[in-house]
Chain A
Amino acid sequence: AQSVTQLDSQVPVFEEAPVELRCNYSSSVSVYLFWYVQYPNQGLQLLLKYLSGSTLVKGINGFEAEFNKSQTSFHLRKPSVHISDTAEYFCAVSPAQGGSEKLVFGKGTKLTVNP
């Protein structure tokens, strides 16, 4: 079984400041890792994913994340945030084998970007 812990439920930052949203996971099998963003009254949009290869993954809207296997972490970063980045962000994992798309999500981090 897998579990995901997002260490901060809310993160307030000022516009143009850097931000890091933290994610740790637990799994007895190899996993794929994802970050999704959800705007109010919307579904989830994929920001980036780690399947294999380079541990630094770049995604849309200037976001990037680094997979750290020894620390079982997959933290999301952006060097300079905009007001439009205000949203809820979800870290998720799915098993790398077995052909399942079942995602296990963290509880989410609400990012608020203030002017």
Chain B
Amino acid sequence: KAGVTQTPRYLIKTRGQQVTLSCSPISGHRSVSWYQQTPGQGLQFLFEYFSETQRNKGNFPGRFSGRQFSNSRSEMNVSTLELGDSALYLCASSLLVPGNTEAFFGQGTRLTVV
């Protein structure tokens, strides 16, 4: 069974540009969440999607957006990149079964903004 796949693994962008990151969940998982990991702030929740609907959103500016497609694949977009957006972006998928929750994480996309 394939795990959560995130593409690309590494990305270098210039300030002011925009970027799109992709996440393919485990087959059958309909819930996808995104997290930002930085040395200073640690792991912070960005968004959660289920069946193409955003269920939760973290405390990030509007430059951060996401979406989920009918096949449960998800993308997140960051516009007008800032140096502080440099981070490891992690995607997690789950079945979202009540009473048996477990999130499976991808290997992440390392974004460097220069």
Which residues in A have some Cβ–Cβ distance to B below 8 Å? 32, 36, 41-46, 49, 51-52, 90, 92, 94, 99-108
Any A CB within 8 A of the CB of B11:
no
Main secondary structure of the interface of A (DSSP, over half): loop
A-B contact pairs, 18 of them (CB 8 A): A43-B105, A43-B106, A43-B108, A44-B105, A45-B105, A46-B102, A46-B103, A46-B104, A51-B100, A51-B101, A99-B98, A100-B55, A101-B96, A101-B101, A102-B56, A103-B45, A103-B92, A105-B43
Interchain CA distance A96-B77 in the complex, whole Å? 29
Interchain CA distance A25-B105 in the complex, whole Å? 22
Any A CB within 8 A of the CB of B72:
no
Which B residues are CB-close (under 8 A) to A49? 101-102
Top 5 nearest A-B pairs by Cβ distance? A43-B105, A105-B43, A44-B105, A43-B107, A107-B42
Which A residues are CB-close (under 8 A) to B90? 43-44
Interchain CA distance A44-B89 in the complex, whole Å? 12
Residue from the list A42, A90, A94 in contact with B43, Cβ < 8 A? A90
Measured between C-beta atoms, what is the minimum distance from A96 to chain B in Å? 9
Q: How many residues of B contact A (CB 8 A)?
A: 28
Any A CB within 8 A of the CB of B68:
no
Which A residues are CB-close (under 8 A) to B108? 42-43
Q: Which residue of A lies closest to B95 (CB)?
A: A101
Measured between C-beta atoms, what is the minimum distance from B102 to chain A in Å? 6
Interchain CA distance A104-B43 in the complex, whole Å? 8
Per-residue CB proximity of B5-43 to A under 8 Å, as 1/0? Answer: 010000000000000000000000001010100000011
Which B residues are CB-close (under 8 A) to A46? 102-104
Interchain CA distance A51-B99 in the complex, whole Å? 7
